[in-house]
């Protein structure tokens, strides 16, 4: 139960557009020291801070693109997203929903604002987190896990402090519904003003927080504001979060996979040969076909 201190608090940099539908701040791997190796198994985090999109007849989004070798976790706070892939799978992710997509051996898909949402316009607020897979699982069969606000694990903190919602891993005795290939905890801390939560993860698990809403104090010591990323050290296990004002915090902690990472764009493999194979497979149509 040794205290775990903050390694860095990182403000969002300059946003960029993914396609025409997603205006994101990249934290992992481009901000500060948040490299793929430092944050293993969390190899990418794009944060879509709250942003208004005016009505659009044609849904905005990002055109067909592949993924191989990892999982994408999409968490929607505001807005409604749709997706479909080259195998015919499709779905809608609304407020409070989480899509845990295991791309593994390969998925070709499109992601865009849902049709009706596009017509009325509205705010989009979401996170996309990429979770690496160990070598033995990179070629496994692609699959989806759809998790809603009703199926997350819920732990009510004592004394009206708030709630911890568990997507994957566990908090106290409450487990999250998501299956993960390696040990990972992915939680939301929803704290009332003045609410406190204590977190305890193994020191060697790479651990961070993202302040989705509100303003927090960590370890009675440092403040992190909305849209800021907090990196915790790999020393000590325990840290506390107190909400200076009502807050929603995304908390993630995972066991590093510690295998070589050879990546380019949407492919995250272990060797250059595997990376070259991924490009060749995509170019030769082995991921399927979708109109751009």
Partner 1 sequence: MYLKENMGMTATEIARLLPRLHKKSVSKNTFLLRQGDQCPNAFFVESGLLRSYTIDDTGKDHIIQFAPENWFISDRSSAYFHEPSLVFIEAIEDSMVIVLDQYYNDFIREIPSYKEKNEMLLQNHIRHLQNRINALLGATAEARYLDFIRLYPSVSLRVPQWMIASYLGVTPESLSRVRKDLANRHYR
- Print the binding letters for residues 11-50 with partner 1: x by CB under 8 A, - otherwise: ----------------------------------------
Quick one: which segment of 42-50, 128-136, 201-209, 259-267 binds partner 1 (CB under 8 A)? 259-267
Q: Does 109 bind partner 1 (CB under 8 A)?
A: no
Q: Which DSSP category does 268 fall into?
A: E
State the chain's maximal CA–CA distance in angstroms. 59
Calpha distance 34→232 (Å, rounded): 11
Q: Which helix (H) or strand (E) holds 279?
A: helix 272-283
- SS3 call for 141: coil
Q: What's the Cα-to-Cα distance from 178 to each of 36, 73, 86, 196, rounded to whole Å?
A: 22, 10, 24, 25
Comparison of 32 and 288: residue with beta carbon closer to partner 1 = 288
- Contact pattern for partner 1 over residues 58 through 97, marking x by CB under 8 A: -------xx-------------------x-----------
Which of these segments, 141-149, 170-178, 189-197, 280-288, binds partner 1 (CB under 8 A)?
Answer: 280-288
N residues, the chain: 292
For 95, which DSSP code? T
Stretch that binds partner 1, among 143-151, 193-201, 253-261, 264-272 (CB under 8 A): 264-272
Q: Does 148 bind partner 1 (CB under 8 A)?
A: no
| # of chain residues touching partner 1 (CB under 8 A) | 19
Query: Could you tell me the smallest distance in angstroms from the CB atom of residue 292 to partner 1?
Result: 5
Helix (H) or strand (E) run with residue 274 in it? helix 272-283
Residue bearing tokens 């010591």:
221
Binding region for partner 1 (CB under 8 A) out of 45-53, 88-96, 134-142, 272-280 = 272-280
Q: Which of 100, 199, 229, 282 binds partner 1 (CB under 8 A)?
A: 282
Does the footprint of partner 1 cover residue 284 (CB under 8 A)? Answer: yes
Residue 220 contacts partner 1 per CB under 8 A: no
Q: Tokens at residue 67, please? A: 């993924």
CA gap 42, 253 in Å, rounded: 9
β-pair type (6-10, 267-269): unpaired
Residues that bind partner 1 (CB under 8 A): 65-66, 86, 264-266, 276, 279-280, 282-289, 291-292
């Amino acid at each position: 139960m040794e205290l775990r201190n903050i390694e860095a608090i990182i403000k969002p940099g300059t946003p960029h557009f993914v396609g025409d539908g997603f205006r994101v701040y990249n934290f992992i791997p481009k901000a500060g020291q948040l490299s793929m190796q430092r944050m293993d198994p969390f190899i990418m985090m794009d944060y879509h801070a709250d942003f208004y999109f005016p009505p659009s007849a044609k849904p905005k989004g990002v055109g067909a693109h592949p993924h191989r070798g990892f999982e994408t976790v999409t968490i929607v706070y505001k807005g409604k997203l749709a997706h479909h892939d080259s195998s015919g799978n499709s779905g809608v992710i609304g407020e409070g929903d989480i899509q845990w997509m295991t791309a593994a051996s390969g998925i070709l898909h499109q992601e865009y604002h849902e049709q009706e949402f596009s017509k009325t316009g509205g705010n989009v607020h979401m996170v996309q987190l990429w979770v690496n897979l160990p070598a033995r699982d990179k070629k496994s069969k692609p699959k989806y896990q759809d998790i809603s606000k009703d199926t997350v694990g819920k732990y009510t903190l004592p004394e009206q402090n708030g709630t911890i919602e568990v997507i994957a891993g566990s908090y106290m005795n409450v487990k999250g519904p998501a299956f993960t290939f390696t040990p990972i905890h992915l939680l939301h801390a929803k704290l009332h003003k003045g609410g406190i939560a204590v977190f305890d993860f193994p020191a060697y698990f790479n651990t961070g927080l993202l302040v989705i809403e509100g303003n927090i104090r960590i370890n009675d010591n440092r403040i992190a504001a909305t849209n800021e990323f907090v990196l915790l050290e790999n020393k000590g296990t325990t840290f506390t979060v107190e909400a200076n004002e009502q807050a929603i915090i995304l908390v993630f902690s995972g066991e590093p996979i510690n295998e070589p990472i050879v990546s380019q764009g949407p492919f995250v493999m272990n060797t250059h040969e595997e990376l070259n194979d991924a490009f060749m497979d995509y170019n030769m149509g082995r991921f399927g076909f979708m109109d751009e």
